[in-house]
Amino acid sequence: MKGPEIMRLKVSATIVAAIGTVAILTGCAAGSPGSGGQKFSYSQPAVDPYQSAESKGVMAEYARLGHGTIPATNANGSASQQLADVQTLVNQGASGIVMSVLDAQAIVPAIQYANKKNVPVVAIDEAPKGGKVSMIVRADNVKMGELACEQMGALVKAGQGVVTLDGDPTSSNGRDRTDGFNECMAAKFPGVKLYHVATKWSAATAATGLQTAFNQHDDVAGVYVQSDTTFYPTVLDTLKKLGKTAKVGESGHVALVSVDGGPASLAAIRSGQQDAVVEQPLSDYITFGVPTKCQSSATARRCSGTAKCCGAALPLRSDATIWWRPCSRAPRRAQRASPPAQTTRRPPCSMSPGSPTVPERSATSDSRRVVANSSP
């Protein structure tokens, strides 16, 4: 088996501005030393490799920019604890808070509390269902599901089944990853059967549902994992207990495709257990979630370095969206039949944020990738 191949495929990331303005958390003078006594923090929703890396990354970005901080909180998977954490950060004098939302509905009172205290909030990865947030930084989770579908569809045959370990349909990420996968499968691989497991982002529930699906269906040939950082290593251990240990390219191998790109999934690809992973843009969440400039429709404006310095500099509607689009690169399997000159890796795209006046999908970013085993 050859080593893993990195393939960059087309997908979008979005930044959605709140009504009227974008309140920037860290001031507007890029690279300025400090923030005039302000302190910022991060609300982590749960304990897993991805969330921990996100928390460390946000706090490190604050430090890199020279801003004061309040220690990040960790809700450890409890929606009520995250609500309390955000309120505590506000009471401790936080000038701004970046958060990854655990429960989109349960977090609303915490955001409203921050609103009353005039503390700007930026939500990354998941969108809350209420309260006023300065900015929402999300990836195109529908596209994630579609990319996973395209990888899975190339690995299984019509008449075979795929177990889909769905997240929570009440969360936008879970709903979007399910919709993207389902719609793509129906359109491109209609002969493949789908066996859905409603996990509500619980690894234990995912493991139980996976085992039940294998016991009830003898045609399972693949597993779609909506979050490997949430469900691994539990799901991998379950497959091992079921005797589904054949590696990529071997007879009896169960195709395994996931979203996130955590350490366990990359290790599984290297060992030949997993076929592909759709990687999340962790660094983009941090880069765009901790902004340093005010941007208007004309120019980037400098200001005094206060949390609310941007005022009405960015006049966007509540549904306004700025899109980033990465490079497109054909999968390796499609390249094998091409002349060598056509398989040369393209240079990385440049990160070039668009302005509010630029049409949607007008700028580029190399922010998402699919990592896949290259064996036949």
Cα–Cα dist 36/58, whole Å: 19
Please tell me the predicted confidence (pLDDT) of residue 350.
25
Q: Is 303 exposed, middle or buried (0-12, 13-18, 19+ CB in 10 A)?
A: middle
* Domain 21-125+282-314 classification at class level: alpha beta
Could you tell me what percent of the chain has a pLDDT over 90? 48
DSSP 64-105: HTT-EE---EE-TT-HHHHHHHHHHHHHTT-SEEEEE-S-TT
Nearest to 295 by CA among 361, 355, 362: 355
| Region 1-12+140-279+323-372: CATH code | 3.40.50.2300
The answer to whether 9 touches 372, Cβ cutoff 8 Å, is: no
Task: Write out pLDDT tens, residues 67-94.
Answer: 889 999 999 989 999 999 999 999 999 9
Task: Write out pLDDT tens, residues 185-217.
Answer: 999 999 999 999 999 999 999 999 999 999 999
Please tell me the predicted confidence (pLDDT) of residue 372.
55
Domain ranges of the chain: 1-12+140-279+323-372, 21-125+282-314
Cα–Cα dist 85/93, whole Å: 13
Cα end-to-end span (Å), the chain: 8
Q: If you search the block for the tokens 């503390």, which residue do you land on?
A: 119
Q: Which secondary structure element, helix H or strand E, spans residue 59, and what is its range?
A: helix 49-64
